[in-house]
């Protein structure tokens, strides 16, 4: 198949569809229409069809989709047909919250190592994972062939951690530290800014102004 | 002006532009082109112009934008020409992380009250804010005329908290608990699912498959 530029909004909606299909499948429903999916998640049926159309023909016209097939298809698109090994760097309040965030494991993101520089934290266990010294990051991440790094350290330390993650072979970095990080183009980087979520809300609260 | 449906991606980009303009303004730069903004944040100049065009004519063709004016214009669009009073409900790891998240205050989101049901937490101070019992939520939020509620409680308690926030007059809710919440249509609700960020990354890592 050829390379297409897929809008990020489509990827995020696919993620929402797949969560909805998990529920639908649990209820034992076998077949679903794009209209059902649309209603379930609150978008238009045309949007559902358009999002899916990026990835080729799927489903049978007039019959709809087999729930399990559609779910598997979307998970494959999202790269979730496999589990991903994730390292978490930084065990402050946010790191602690992320270390026990159930949504990661449910979607196949398995935290396999945790690093911090606080001697009181090093050696403790979070679920089954031992918190290790930052000095061991490169050795452990490379040995585990960890694919994804989550940066939850203060801004001043973030670039150094990003460099170490890249040197250790991670393919993708999710960064919660403020500021701009530099990584080579072959490494996917996503910056999470939690305030943006509030700004979408305040825009919508005030949307009648336009 | 008439009501337009603005794509969420546009709102999120406006938020990114405004952060970039904060930096540019700090450097003392007076005028900026859409091309400069585009390069600074990594989108196309046409995208910048299209995003701004939703909100009417702005800037002078061939001259570009006055940095301060453009910045103020975007902040106004985002509803950030004012501060917002925010209540944080739930002081687990995530709540603790959110309570000290610098990005909120910088963007005008001021946490004015914090609620939890843990007797060990009630009465303690987070920065200048006293942690209060959940029993006081409705009284305090209504008295403060708090506009935004952040839900960081376990899923089982989230709907009850949402109902109380709505009854107390909040206009918008940012929900970190998993699952679907019901709120009346006049209240803006946004669900944050941190795993979605990882899914955008894994999609991009595997994007050559399509």
Angstrom distance (rounded) from CA A3 to CA B169:
48
Return the SS3 of B66. strand
- Residue B204 inside a domain? The answer is no
| A:19-38 residues touching chain B, CB 8 A cutoff | 19
Query: Based on the structure, what is the number of domains in chain B?
Result: 2
Q: For the domain that residue A169 is a member of, what is the CATH number?
A: 3.40.50.720
Beta-bridge partners for A188: A172
- b (16+ CB within 10 A) / e for A157-181: ebbebbebbbebebbbbbbbbbeeb
Across the A:B interface, residue pairs with CB atoms under 8 Å apart total 187
| Domain residue limits at A14 | 8-77
Cα→Cα distances A84→A31, A69, A149, B131, B199, Å: 29, 22, 10, 38, 10
By C-alpha distance, the chain B residue nearest A5 is B207
Average pLDDT value over all residues in chain A: 89
Asked if the model's pLDDT at residue A88 lies above 50, the reply is: yes
Q: How far is A155 from chain B (nearest CA, A)?
A: 11
pLDDT of B209 strictly over 60: no
B25 & B95 share domain: no
The residue-averaged pLDDT of A49-67 equals: 81
Q: Residue holding tokens 């890592």?
A: B205
In angstroms, the Cα distances linking A93 to A124, B49, B97 are 15, 39, 5
| CB contact B123 to A (< 8 Å) | no
In a domain, residue A3? The reply is no
Is residue A70 domain-shared with residue A101, that is, in the same domain? no
Each residue of A11-48: pLDDT tens digit? 888 988 998 999 899 999 999 998 999 988 888 888 89
Question: What pLDDT band is residue B205 in, cutting at 50, 70 and 90?
Answer: confident
Give me the percent of chain B exceeding a pLDDT of 90: 54
- Min Cα distance A174 → chain B (Å) is 7
Judge whether B14 lies within some domain. Answer: yes
**pLDDT of res. B3:** 47
Cβ of A195 within 8 Å of Cβ of B104? The answer is: yes
pLDDT tens-digit profile of B16-31?
A: 899 899 989 999 999 9
Rounded mean pLDDT, B109-129:
96
- Picking from A64-73, A149-158, B18-27, B54-63, which range would have the lowest pLDDT averaged per residue? B54-63
My answer on whether B104 and B175 are in the same domain is yes
Nearest CB partner across the interface for B190, out of A192, A201, A208: A201
* Chain A interface includes B187 (CB < 8 A): no
Q: Does residue A103 sit in the same domain as residue A185?
A: yes
Phi, psi torsion values for B132, nearest 5 degrees: -115, 160
Per-residue model confidence as pLDDT tens digits over A110-129: 999 999 999 999 999 998 99
Backbone angles phi, psi at B151, to 5 degrees: -100, 115
């Amino acid at each position: 198949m050829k390379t297409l530029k897929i809008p990020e909004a489509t990827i995020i909606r696919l993620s929402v569809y797949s969560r909805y299909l998990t529920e639908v499948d649990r209820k034992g429903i076998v077949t679903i229409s794009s209209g059902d999916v649309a209603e379930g998640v609150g978008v238009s049926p045309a949007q559902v069809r358009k999002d899916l159309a990026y990835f080729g023909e799927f489903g049978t016209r007039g019959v709809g989709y087999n729930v399990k097939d559609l779910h598997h298809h979307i998970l494959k698109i999202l790269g979730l047909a496999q589990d991903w090994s994730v390292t978490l760097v930084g065990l402050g309040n946010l790191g602690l919250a992320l270390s026990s965030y159930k949504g990661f494991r449910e979607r196949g993101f398995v935290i396999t190592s945790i690093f911090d520089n606080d001697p009181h934290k090093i050696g403790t266990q979070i679920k089954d994972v031992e918190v290790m010294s930052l000095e061991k990051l490169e050795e452990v991440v490379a040995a585990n062939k960890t694919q994804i790094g989550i940066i939850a350290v203060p801004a001043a330390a973030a670039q150094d951690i990003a460099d170490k993650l890249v040197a250790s072979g991670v393919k993708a970095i999710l960064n919660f530290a403020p500021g701009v990080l530099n990584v080579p183009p072959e490494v996917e980087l996503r910056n999470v800014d939690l305030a943006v979520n509030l700004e979408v809300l305040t825009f919508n609260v005030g949307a009648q102004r336009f």
